[in-house]
Amino acid sequence: MAGTPSGSPDLVVVGAGIVGAACAYQATQVGLSVTVVERGPIVGGTTGAGEGNILVSDKEPGPELDLALLSIGRWQALADLPLEGGTFGAAVEVENKGGLVVASGQSTLDGLDKLAAQQRDAGVEAVPVPAGRLHDEEPHLADGLAGGYLYPQDMQVQPMLAAAHLLRLARRAGATVLPHEPVTGFLRDGERVTGVRTARRAIPAGSVLNAAGTWAGQLAELAGVRLPVAPRRGFILVTEPLPAIIRHKVYLADYVADVASGSAALQSSPVVEGTRSGTVLIGATRERVGFDAAMSLPALRRLAAGAVQLFPVLRDVAVIRAYRGFRPYCPDHLPVIGPDPRAPGLHHACGHEGAGIGLSLGTARLVAQVLVGDRPDLDTYPFRPERFAPEGAE
């Protein structure tokens, strides 16, 4: 890192969602002084509208799966961290529930067999569950499914609690957190980024980290660089509290294809899971409609129909609310992590789409290692910010 002006932080993190919170915490753990600035309330963006997924099951072998495996290990270690009266894992509702991916027909199961074999080669636990054993895992699952795979490493966390506690730990280590303070520009020394400017103050710093989620592309523009991060809207239904009738995170294998799709049109595949409070979360839809936050009846109907398709027992269950959020989408479905050579001093940790909760701790680990000059645990080249072609050249 470049020299930091006296009294200024080593790092300004822009964004106080789960990725920014994780990066702030990890930066303090390697000895950096940190200031976090957030345009709105803490976890007021994507993190506050997420399900809390920490998944390896939905990722094909490659850089994202490698990052997911690194992150899973970090989540498992952090879950055991002592906090007052318990552990971090208990405080943020970490659940090692595992994921069950099911196939509706034989052709889909064949594809799932191939994916699971590739995932196992990469270090993922993927246990085949034949059709006749599906009800052993999920007694209320629909009949007639072709089979599936159990992924014991899949986890769930309460994302708002996780981000809040990570920021709490960062503050304990000396970090400053400034909510409701949007960044309006960057401080520069020639081409080098040397801090940020908000409506209230200038904050000089050794480095700046763009962890602004769906607004990361707009923030990058203020520094004169292009990141094609766009919002991808999704809806979730929440049922009335029920007995614990769903044991895992359960979804149709079609969900994997929807995650990897580049289509802007509405896509939906059923994803169903219970929570500690007894409510059932029902997803997932994806569509690119800008920042249009309007409710979509077609999307909600698809969610309800998909949930009943997987779990007929939910047919007469009341839905108590629906909410939506915007995933920070990148066209190649990989996050942006690392220093930006186009604006020295600026780093990025954004573009995780719907996987930001699960990938946050691995991302934070890589960011901190780069900032202090250590060799990263993973090759960060696939995540490099400058990989995108100039606008209009794709």
> Which CATH superfamily, name and number, covers 11-52+160-229+332-387?
FAD/NAD(P)-binding domain (3.50.50.60)
Q: What is the mean pLDDT of residues 191-204?
A: 97
pLDDT tens profile 29-50: 999 999 999 999 999 999 988 8
The three-point CA angle 67-109-143 to 5° equals 115
Residue 2 pLDDT > 60, yes or no?
no
d(CA 136, CA 140): 10
**pLDDT at residue 381 in the model:** 98
Bridge partners (DSSP) of residue 99 are 151, 249
Sign of CA dihedral 267, 270, 271, 275: positive
Q: Of 116-130, 244-258, 288-302, where does mean pLDDT reach its minimum?
A: 244-258
CA angle 242, 243, 246 (to 5 degrees): 90
Comparing C-alpha atoms, which of 304, 251, 332 is closest to residue 55? 251
pLDDT at residue 258, as a whole number: 67
Does residue 75 have a pLDDT over 80? yes
Per DSSP, what are the bridge partners of residue 251? 101, 271
332-384 pLDDT, tens per residue? 999 999 999 999 999 999 999 999 999 999 999 999 999 999 999 999 999 99
394 has a pLDDT exceeding 70: no
CATH 3.30.9.10 for domain 99-152+230-329, yes or no, is yes
Which positions ≥6 away from 367 have C-beta within 8 Å?
23, 26, 27, 209, 337, 338, 347, 349
0.85 exceeded by pTM: yes
Spatial separation of the C-alpha atoms in residues 42 and 38, rounded to whole Å: 7
Give the mean pLDDT of 163-176.
Answer: 98
* Confidence class for position 58, pLDDT limits 50, 70, 90: very high
Mean pLDDT of the chain: 94
Return the pLDDT at 137: 98
pLDDT, position 16: 97
Question: Where are the CATH 3.30.9.10 domain residues in the chain?
Answer: 99-152+230-329
Q: How confident is the model at residue 196 (pLDDT cuts 50, 70, 90)?
A: very high
What pLDDT is recorded for position 391? 61
Question: For a pLDDT cut of 90, what percent of the chain falls above it?
Answer: 88
User: Taking residues 262-271, what's their average pLDDT?
Assistant: 85
The per-residue pLDDT for range 323-339, each reduced to its tens digit, is 999 999 999 999 999 99
- DSSP assigned state of 41: S
pLDDT (tens digit per residue) in 110-129: 999 999 999 999 999 999 99
Nearest residue to 223 (alpha-carbon basis) of 329, 326, 339? 339
In the chain, where does the domain assigned CATH 3.50.50.60 lie? 11-52+160-229+332-387
Report whether 172 contacts 33 (CB < 8 A): no
User: 274-284: per-residue pLDDT in tens?
Assistant: 998 899 999 88
- pLDDT value, residue 115: 96
Q: What share of the chain is helix, strand, coil (3-state, %, to 5)?
A: 35, 25, 40
| Continuous H helices in the chain | 18-29, 63-79, 88-91, 106-121, 134-137, 159-172, 216-222, 254-260, 297-310, 356-371
In this predicted structure, the answer to whether residue 257 has a pLDDT above a threshold of 90 is: no
Mean pLDDT of 263-278: 88
Report CA torsion sign: 78, 32, 371, 39.
Answer: positive
